Amino acid sequence: MIKLSSTHPHAFGMLVTALGVLVFVPDALLLRLIGGDMLAVSVWRGFLAGSVFLIWSYGISNAPRPTLRDSLSGLCLLVAVLEGASMILFCASIGHTSVSNALFIFATAPLIAAALSWVFLRETVPIQTLMAIIVSMIGVTVIVSGSFGGTSLLGDGLAFLNACTVAGFYVALRKIGPKNMLPSIGAGYLIGAVCVMPFADFQSYSPAQIGYLFLNGAVILPVAIGLLSIGPRFLPAAEVSMFTVLEVILAPLLVWFVLGENPGGQSLIGGAIIICAIFAHTLWRLRKEQHKKL
């Protein structure tokens, strides 16, 4: 793997990103299998993932790393807070709506990040990106319209807040630039777990649920985040976006196949609109980047 990164960096980036996405695919299914109060799940998930990140950053990895104080100051603190909030909001949204709704709405995060970059970083938003944002918001509206009068409207709203939080996370990372943010991410998970603990309804878990929880928090979340943090160093952002769309497609299908959780017609229609908007926007960005190289 290390040799591939130097001899074929583009192939290495594709491999690492694809692995990160595939590791993430069972995430929502495991949350469903754990069950119970999702705020309690987010507490354990936060403690497990946060501990793994900090142990890796300060006890195992030889990579340059900031002090824990630096990781919790300025924009690094904002990154930690946003990542911790995202972890809580994702679990909460899964607890109040379908996996398909939560992930389809979450998929709008990169486009929301483009809008936030225009507001806070004064970056120009191309007309193609603006059109993709408008179309994706239409998709979100279609999904949410299917929840009116039902119990999943709260979950759809939490999923949209999650997308906005992740978008803010992207913008903060872009402002910070190339820097090891894993310690901040790990600290963010721990902060989120501590903050939500008073509101969680803790219950006893079966051995199977404990196993699912450990796999989810201590393995899948840190491994996937770690791999996906490497990919953008070797790939254009558009190619990374193309891979991450696969999770939005595969994860609901996996939950549907294993647990029979039917997304419903409006969720599928709205999700298709969002995915088509992101896919078309990604193709446009890839073509634009290829023209720059010529």
- Give residue-wise pLDDT tens across range 195-240: 999 999 998 999 999 999 999 999 999 998 888 777 666 765 556 6
Q: Choose between 43 and 279: higher pLDDT.
A: 43
Per-residue pLDDT averaged across 191-198, rounded? 95
Q: What is the pLDDT of residue 200?
A: 93
Q: Name the band, by pLDDT with cuts 50, 70 and 90, for residue 5.
A: low
Q: What is the pLDDT of residue 210?
A: 95
Q: Name the band, by pLDDT with cuts 50, 70 and 90, for residue 30.
A: very high
Q: What is the pLDDT of residue 242?
A: 65
> Is 46's pLDDT higher than 80?
yes
- Give residue-wise pLDDT tens across range 249-266: 888 889 999 998 888 888
Q: Minimal CA–CA distance to 38: which of 185, 20, 46, 21?
A: 46
Cβ-count burial of 267 within 10 angstroms (0-12 exposed, 13-18 middle, 19+ buried)? buried
Q: Name the band, by pLDDT with cuts 50, 70 and 90, for residue 118.
A: confident
Backbone angles phi, psi at 63, to 5 degrees: -70, 150
Q: What is the pLDDT of residue 206?
A: 93
| H-state helical runs in 36-181 | 38-55, 68-71, 74-96, 99-106, 109-120, 127-145, 153-176
SS percent in the chain: helix, strand, coil, step 5: 80, 0, 20
Euclidean distance between CA atoms 192 and 195, whole angstroms = 5
Per-residue pLDDT averaged across 73-98, rounded? 91
Q: Choose between 179 and 102: higher pLDDT.
A: 102
Q: Choose between 61 and 270: higher pLDDT.
A: 270
Distances from the Cα of 206 to the Cαs of 11, 29, 102, 109, 203, in angstroms?
42, 17, 26, 35, 10
Q: What is the pLDDT of residue 277?
A: 86
Euclidean distance between CA atoms 28 and 102, whole angstroms = 9
> Is 4's pLDDT higher than 60?
no
Q: Name the band, by pLDDT with cuts 50, 70 and 90, for residue 294.
A: low
Euclidean distance between CA atoms 41 and 193, whole angstroms = 9
Q: What is the pLDDT of residue 133?
A: 84
Distances from the Cα of 278 to the Cαs of 119, 152, 196, 245, in angstroms?
21, 24, 32, 8
